[in-house]
């Protein structure tokens, strides 16, 4: 009974994490289409939410990586998974409050690793899997997306240079319906699978699923719904703040950035690499901007991303370890997660209220 | 050590396929756009042969785009 309650809290926390992931990332997915006027904001948000939902059903390779290649399935407990999730949500909330860019994916993996370290020791952490499937791909993906989008825009400008700008702009805007759709699919498939992997890991650790079990269909549907709902809800805030924070680019750049980002994420997803979709999309947008004019790129953002790469994994691991130690203080299985959840909700409420008082249109965090 | 921990072969495939997919999509779409705009210009200013040739370019470019997207999604669904 206690185990069932614990697992219910873990699943609810994982879905909450997935919702916040979609909520934060709406800007990444729709900003390019909206800035080039390829789509009106409202329609862009609705389409992004629908395609995030569909995208979550496309593949399970990333979910398998999260469930099998980060930590030893046999050595962890639902409390470890819970601590990892709380660390990811807490770290995201903290970085959002202080306006620092952060990756939800890296925070989640860092949180799980930190909690596993204190719960089961370093032997339970799959160091090879983390280096080979998380850290190296995390470095490669944004650079790859930068290169793909940069070369793409040079090719596009070369081919349409002598054409009348009116029909070219309209053509690329039309093309953005497809490239923007692919980007939303890519985002849904890579990010929702991280939650699927974590829930599967928790179910295995609680004995509800055998070791190396496939992701249950209800987990796929739940994660798909949570990220789609988060994307949809996050969109209304984006629409309100769109006028001041939008990225300026022409339709050809928008098409190239979306195509480059989508191609990188979809291919990496197929091979089971859990990427930071925010970093990848940011890399693609910077690539499309840099190819036209180096000064068009916000290099400060690039610097912040590098800092986030270095900082997020160890910081989230530390928060995950601390959360596990606090949760484990309570002798009853479900009491720790229930009390920590209540504390986290209270802290989140205070931070949200303070932020709302300070700046009604606060910048969105960069996540995922 | 990293040579055995990091699967460079698979990572290389990611790089290759992403470059081919992303740049190929933009190349095909730009060619389709080039063909469509030039074909429209020829229609207004005469030149039936050029119009037909640019029309074919637009159709082929568009078909390659659609085929690329369908192929990509098919690969994703191949679990």
What is the C-alpha separation between A232 and A210, in angstroms, rounded?
35
Nearest to A260 among B22, B69, B73 (CB): B22
Nearest to A266 among B6, B76, B79 (CB): B76
pLDDT in tens, A81-101: 999 999 998 887 777 777 666
- Nearest residue of A to residue B58 by CA position? A171
pLDDT in tens, B8-26: 999 999 999 999 999 999 9
What is the C-alpha separation between B32 and A5, in angstroms, rounded?
57
A270–B76 C-beta distance less than 8 A? yes
- pTM over 0.90, yes/no: no
pLDDT at B48 over 50: yes
Nearest to B11 among A136, A160, A179 (CB): A136
What is the C-alpha separation between A51 and A228, in angstroms, rounded?
8
The answer to whether A230 and A364 have CB atoms below 8 angstroms apart is: no
Of the two residues A236 and A141, the one the predictor is more confident about is: A141
A189–B26 C-beta distance less than 8 A? no
Supply the ipTM of this predicted assembly.
0.91
The answer to whether A130 and A70 have CB atoms below 8 angstroms apart is: yes
Give yes or no for B3 touching A (CB within 8 A). no
Count of A-B CB contacts under 8 Å: 121
| 3-class secondary structure, A10 | helix
DSSP string, B2-42: HHHHS-HHHHHHHHHHHHHHHHHHHHHHHHHHHHHHHHHHH
């Amino acid at each position: 009974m206690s185990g069932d309650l614990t697992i219910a809290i873990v699943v609810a926390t994982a879905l909450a994490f997935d919702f916040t992931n979609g909520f934060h990332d709406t800007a990444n997915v729709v900003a390019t289409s909206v800035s080039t006027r390829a789509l009106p904001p409202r329609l862009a948000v609705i389409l992004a939410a629908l395609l995030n939902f569909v995208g979550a059903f496309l593949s399970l390779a990333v979910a398998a990586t999260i469930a099998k290649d980060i930590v030893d399935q046999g050595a962890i407990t639902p409390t470890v998974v819970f601590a990892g999730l709380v660390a990811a949500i807490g770290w995201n909330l903290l970085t959002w409050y202080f306006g620092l860019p952060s990756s939800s994916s890296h925070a989640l993996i860092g949180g799980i690793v930190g909690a596993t370290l204190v719960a089961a020791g370093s032997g339970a952490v799959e160091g090879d899997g983390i280096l080979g499937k998380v850290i190296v791909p995390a470095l490669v993906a944004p650079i790859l997306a930068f290169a793909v989008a940069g070369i793409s825009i040079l090719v596009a400008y070369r081919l349409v240079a002598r054409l009348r700008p009116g029909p070219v702009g309209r053509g690329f805007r039309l093309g953005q319906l497809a490239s923007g759709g692919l980007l939303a699919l890519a985002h849904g498939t890579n990010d929702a699978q991280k939650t699927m992997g974590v829930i599967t890991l928790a179910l295995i650790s609680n004995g509800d699923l055998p070791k190396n079990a496939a992701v249950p269909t209800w987990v796929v549907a739940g994660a798909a719904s949570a990220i789609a709902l988060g994307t949809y809800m996050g969109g209304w805030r984006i629409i309100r703040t769109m006028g001041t924070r939008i990225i300026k680019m022409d339709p050809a750049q928008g098409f190239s950035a979306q195509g480059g980002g989508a191609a990188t994420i979809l291919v990496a997803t197929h091979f089971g690499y859990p990427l930071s979709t925010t970093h990848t999309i940011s890399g693609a947008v910077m690539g499309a901007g840099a190819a036209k004019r180096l000064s068009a790129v916000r290099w400060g953002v690039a610097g912040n991303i590098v800092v986030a790469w270095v900082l997020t994994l160890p910081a989230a691991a530390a928060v995950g370890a601390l959360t596990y130690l606090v949760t484990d203080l309570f002798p009853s299985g479900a009491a720790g997660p229930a009390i920590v959840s209540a504390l986290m909700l209270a802290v989140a409420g205070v931070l949200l209220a303070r932020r709302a008082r300070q700046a009604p249109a606060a910048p969105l965090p960069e996540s995922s | 050590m990293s040579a055995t921990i990091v699967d460079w072969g698979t990572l290389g495939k990611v790089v290759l396929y992403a470059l081919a997919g992303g740049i190929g999509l933009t190349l095909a779409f730009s060619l389709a756009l080039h063909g469509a705009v030039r074909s429209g210009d020829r229609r207004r200013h005469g030149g039936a042969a050029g119009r037909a040739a640019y029309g074919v370019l637009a159709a082929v470019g568009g078909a390659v785009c659609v085929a690329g997207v369908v192929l990509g999604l098919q690969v994703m669904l191949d679990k």
